[in-house]
Structure 1
Amino acid sequence: MTSGPRHDAADARKARDTAPAVRGPSHVSGALTALEKIPTVVLDDHRDIAIHVARRIAEVIRARNAEGRDAVLGLATGSTPIGVYRELIRMHRDEGLSFKRVVTFNLDEYYPMPPDSIHSYHRFMWENLFSHVDVDRAKVHIPDGTVSRIKADAFCAGYERAIEQAGGIDVQILGIGKTGHIGFNEPGSGEHSRTRVVHLDAVTRRDAAADFFGEDFVPREAVTMGVATIFAAREIIIIATGEHKARVVQRAVEGPINIEVAATFLQRHPATTFYVDAAAAGDLTRIATPWLLDEVEWTPARTLEGVTWLSRKVGRAILKLTQADYAEHKMSSLVARHGSPGAVNGLVFNELGAKIRGKSKLPHGKKVVCFSPHPDDDVISMGGILRKLTENKNEIIVAYMTSGNIAVFDYDVRRHVDFLLRMHRDSGVGGAEVKVLAKKVSAFLSTKKPGDVDIPEVAEIKRLIREAEAISGLETVGLPASAGRFLNLPFYQTGKVKKDPIGPADVKIVKQLLQDA
């Protein structure tokens, strides 16, 4: 039995149509999806997406193996597919899903990049998937970030041949970058492009800066499959999560094909499906402004959204919106429901006004716990509210869930160690251990490379720096230092950008805080 574009497009449609029920609009047909040029499934969250996509991959593996041949998977890296890989590992462990007859081709790799680097996609794939399943190492293909420049073109041509010799990619997994890139096909990548070395866009390098501990350390080039290489896959699954991806998802799904947004080329592919969570779907017309496509039920929440959208759209205050404004933007049914534009305008204006909380509407004399993911999130995000809660004589605890030490720059550590040495020299503060500490810290920092995990002494100094900053923030909004609780949840303490999964120890600490409060 052979598999071609028509056959795989039918399988992809079947997989979409059997997506589990979710809150709100999912994959729907008809008027609400009239503007969508790539079929799009909206699921509640990344966990739902991971389960559904992993099941589809498992179906393909089993189907191809039943035909007597290897399944060929195109794989991606980064945070987007992590959940899918975890679910595939679970299916291998609990359901006997075998990868012995699976051939894999990864999308891309930074260049240059040694395979054992913490930033390497070789290392990423082995840590997050391959080491946990029974895949044959000889069937794993990842672009070589160490190939010499003089041999790079030959390597890329060989990568294309290897895909062809494997029978072509059955399912290609993709994420999408903020610029609409797929793989490292940056703006300007042509639809006929093949595997090659590319220069990375400034936006892409900026987005990767946190992983590399600074933009200066992000490689300027990468090896990537081309748009045509990706397009040759029988089925393509592209995943996006989070509201920061909403705009580019809308452009890729509803916008015109544009060489500046490589993902738009997938509109021409017969078996591509977008899997997105509710946040990433937020700018799709059927989610953001469904009244532009069809009649809708004007619930209180939708009325609020619709009128505020209309106000921004026409550039008029809510109380000044007119019958013509509503009519021109297909919202006449909302006016008809309430009788007049003034009635709708007044209703929404009052609802919005009620959301503005002055001091009199906040709690008085209560116990209040504010959870701050990192030190300073509290005063940055709700410093004014904390001050008002303090003025209302509430007993306030601010619980800092993680140390946030990874955000402290090494030069701040050097500055604080220098301060300790000067205090020791001039005021006799501390004993000989101050010099020992300073020597050890200085020696480590002098040889530290980007991405190296800090030694315990450096991590501890960085933790104390963040705690001192947090206390200063509390005092700025009128709270005493005693209001701060530093939980230092274990999941965060990896010393890397990548954290451990939240576990029972983390839950126990938070539970104990609430019980003690």
Structure 2
Amino acid sequence: MSAGPVRVGGSPFVHAGVTGTARERIPTVIIDEHGAMARVVAQRIATLMRERSAAGQTLVLGLATGSTPIGVYRELIRLHREEGLSFRHVVSFNLDEYYPMRADSIHSYHRFMWENLFSHVDIDAANVNIPDGSLARADVDAACAAYEAKIVAAGGIDFQLLGIGKTGHIGFNEPGSGEHSRTRLVHLDSITRRDAAADFFGEENVPREALTMGIATIMAAREVAILATGEHKSGIVRRSVEGEIDRAVAATFLQRHPNTTFYVDDAAAVDLTRVATPWLLDEVVWDEPLAVRAVTWLAAKQKKAMLKLTQADYAENNLTSLVARHGSPGAVNGLVFNVLGAKIRGKSKLPRGLKTICFSPHPDDDVISMGGILRKFVENENDMTVAYMTSGNIAVFDHDVRRYMDFLLRLDSERIGDGTAVRQLADTVHAFLQRKQAGDVDIPEVQDMKRIIRESEAVSGIEVMGLGKEHARFLNLPFYQTGKVRKDPIGPADVAIVAELLRELQPDLIFVAGDLSDPHGTHRMCKEAIDRAVAEVYTGAHAAKRPEIWLYRGAWQEWPITEATVLVPLSQEELTLKIQAIFKHQSQKDSAPFPGQDEREFWQRVEQRNKTTAKQLDQLGLAEYFAMEAYVIA
């Protein structure tokens, strides 16, 4: 992928990874770092704002909500505070709002926008427009027509910011939305509601309807930027960018827009043809990693073990240049076979006697994602510490709190002496839970109980692995302590806590979650805190002591075997032990509060993914194993 100057909306600026391939019907920019993506888009908005302000004109912005654009809003706030970017000449129109929804609700997009942007800049409140979810149903149609008329009166939207849902919806234009649709009340798709379930603490609490700008409203914008991050968006990104225009995927209509740019991170780009199979598009420079990907892809496509691939197989799939590079199919097959085989490391080939930290974003990611290697590291007498970075308290059901509170009351009454402290705590907790509404922030007493529940489960989990409570550290990073699903950005206090642990333990190796599909970005944010701490601690004279970093996945996705550096085989007994450790997290068992789109329990996902990784190697003709975990050494 190349970098070069690209003109977007008449203003030249440099993007990485812009392609001109015929397969990509929407210009697509791949930016591997979320902060960089946010800065690029925010700078484009800032440029337009300054140009319009200098000309004494108003800029009309169409704005989106959700986790993806938050980085853009934070960068705009920084530009306002540090570089004097003014919003006095900005008029904004938000895409959508749930219905029914009070403006002051913790779930409302009205509240989201004021908390994440408007209250931090100098925009005139009269210039802020957000669909009103509190209207009486009889007034909705007239209000939607008035919203459209107000956009027209403002001169139309100059720059529209969009995210994309897993169904390809933009705004709340669900599958089946028409190209000529305008602002209206819509019924939400079941996938959309399931995606939103975590924010509402249960799908049953998600509104079934929403107000949204229509496809035609969005298409009328002069410039559109659409953002997507995470592996879970990769399929819909490819469908939107490379597929045919289809009412079932609203984002495909943007192929007809004259000035749309898609911004995606590496994870969301993995299914694009230029990333997944670039040899199908044009001549490529063959290096070893690309050869491994190509041969693995070809073997899977031809349903053959890789050592059985022939010249005809390569010729039929536009890969003759790879054979020419190495001289024969056998040479290529053997090279890739040996590269993949060298990645496999049983216990005897894993490190011994090292100081090791496993950083676990939530109090179960350690055993879910790397329970197999965790046990092997213990058996190899590595000095293990598991550092739980957040409390995970929002992922505990209220009924678990009631159950533990009942246990404490019974214990206090029967064995301790019926003290007043436990009774007072119970009265406070029960009174709050009785009046609590879905999504309300828990009182400190309940937050603490949920934190302690998860901490005790975490200790039980690592005990299955052969570790004890002395090997657990609960960092409780401040960014997570909002009591809400949405978290604060990573700050100096978070980095300082991680840095202090690194200085204290001086690890030789650390495990870090590299899974970017966590629904609320906690894994990504925890990785940011670790990256910043590592950069702070291991600088200058201390650079040589920088620990080796192994990235794991597993809770939401798994590393492909072509990307993995290390493949760790698990026996049937080791996988069973790993699942037993996962079972110790009883508050997440049976029905986790935030399961994502996969309705299976985490242990079921783990079993399937670990077995599938092993099966892929078997199908390629390598050694057959019962299950396997994958890691990338950064």
TM-score band, normalised by shorter chain: over 0.9
Q: Which runs of 5+ in 1 are unaligned?
A: 1-9
Do the aligned partners of residues 13 and 312 (structure 1) sit closer, same or farther apart at CA in structure 2, a change above 3 Å counting? farther
Deviation at 1:400, TM superposition (A): 0.8
SS at match of 1:237: strand
1:12 corresponds to 2:13: no
Q: Return the offset for 1:485.
A: 1.1
Q: 1:306 aligns with which of 260, 284, 294?
A: 294
1:327 aligned onto 2:327: no
- Residue from 106, 115, 120 that aligns with 1:118: 106
Residue 460 of structure 1: aligned partner: 448
1:73 partnered with 2:53:
no
Q: Does 1:267 align with 2:255?
A: yes
Measured against aligned partners, the alpha-carbon deviations of 1:228-275 in whole angstroms (never above 9, x if no partner) come to 010111111111112211111111111000100000001111111111
Greater Cα shift, 199-208 or 54-63: 54-63
Q: Which one of 153, 157, 160 corresponds to residue 172 of structure 1?
A: 160
Larger displacement relative to structure 2 (360-369 or 441-450) = 360-369
TM-score normalised by L of structure 2: 0.77
Match of 2:469 in 1: 481
What is the alpha-carbon distance in structure 1 between the residues aligned to residue 407 and residue 233 of structure 2?
44
Q: Which residue of 2 aligns with 1:39?
A: 27
* Structure 2 gaps, min length 5: 1-5, 506-634
Question: Is the aligned partner of 1:139 residue 2:127?
Answer: yes
Distance 2:86 2:472 in 1: 50
Post-superposition CA distance 1:7-64 (Å, at most 9, x none): xxx962544x5224x4xxx1133xxx12111111222222111111112112222333
Match in the other structure for 1:377:
365
- Say yes or no: does 1:89 pair with 2:80: no
- Partner of 1:371, secondary structure, is strand
CA, structure 1 residues 515+66, in 2 after alignment: closer, same or farther (shift >3 Å)?
closer
Question: Which residue of structure 2 aligns with residue 404 of structure 1?
Answer: 392
Give 2:279's aligned residue: 291
In 2, the alpha carbon distance for the partners of 1:62 and 1:471 equals: 54
Could you give the per-residue CA deviations for residues 332-371 of structure 1, whole angstroms, max 9, x where no partner exists?
1111111222221121112112112100011112221111
Distance 2:164 2:224 in 1: 12
| Superposed displacement of residue 194, structure 1 | 0.6
Written as runs of structure 1 = structure 2, the 5 A alignment for 1:42-53 is 42-53=30-41
Q: Residue type of the partner of 1:85?
A: Y
Match of 1:226 in 2: 214
Post-superposition offset of 1:508: 2.0
1:28 aligns with 2:19: yes
Separation in 2, partners of 1:429, 1:481: 28
Distance in 1 (CA, whole Å) between partners of 2:469 and 2:125 is 55
Distance in 2 of aligned mates of 1:60 and 1:393 = 59
CA apart distance, 1:147: 0.8
Give how far 1:373 is off: 0.9
Q: Distance in 1 between matches of 2:34 and 2:474?
A: 29
Counterpart position of 1:471: 459
The 3 A distance-change label for structure 1 pair 430 and 325 is: farther
Pairing 1:59–2:47 present:
yes
Contact 2:160 2:223 in 1 (8 A): yes
What TM-score comes out, normalization by structure 1 length? 0.94
Q: CA RMSD in A?
A: 1.5
Distance 1:511 1:135 in 2: 38
Where does residue 246 of structure 1 map in the other structure? Answer: 234
Q: Could you tell me which residue of structure 2 aligns to residue 6 of structure 1?
A: none
Residue in 1 aligned with 2:525? none
2:183 pairs with 1:195: yes
CA deviation map 1:166-193 (0-9, x unaligned): 1111111111111000000000001011
* In 1, Cα distance between equivalents of 2:494 and 2:75: 23
**1:102-148 alpha-carbon deviations (Å, 9 max, x no partner):** 11110000001101111111111111111111111111110000111
For residues 294-335 of structure 1, give each alpha carbon's deviation from its aligned partner in whole angstroms, at most 9, with x where no partner exists: 110111111111111222222222222222221111111111
In 2, the alpha carbon distance for the partners of 1:337 and 1:362 equals 34
Asked whether 1:391 is paired with 2:382, we answer no
Contact map agreement 2:90 2:123 (CA 8 A) in 1: yes
Displacement, 1:98? 1.7
Separation in 1 of the partners of 2:174 and 2:135?
21
Instruction: Find the aligned partners of 2:466 and 2:85 in 1 and give their Cα distance.
Output: 58
Q: How far off its partner does 1:429 sit?
A: 5.6
Change (3 A) 1:65 1:359: same
Give the partner amino acid of 1:338: H
Q: Deviations over 1:77-120 (max 9, x none)?
A: 11111111111122222222221111111000000110111111
Aligned to 1:357: 345
Alpha-carbon distance in structure 2 between the residues aligned to 1:68 and 1:464: 57
Q: Which amino acid aligns with 1:227?
A: I
- Counterpart of 2:482 (choices 481, 491, 494) is 494
- Residue type of the alignment partner of 2:118: F
> Is 1:183 matched up with 2:171?
yes
Structure 2 counterpart of 1:3: none
Q: Structure 1 residues 14, 68: CA separation in 2 closer, same or farther (over 3 Å shift)?
A: closer
Displacement over 4 Å in runs of 4+ = none
SS at match of 1:69: coil
Counterpart of 1:102 in structure 2: which amino acid?
A: V
Q: Structure 2 residue aligned with 1:368, among 339, 344, 356? A: 356
The SS at the match of 1:103 is strand
Distance 2:119 2:420 in 1: 47
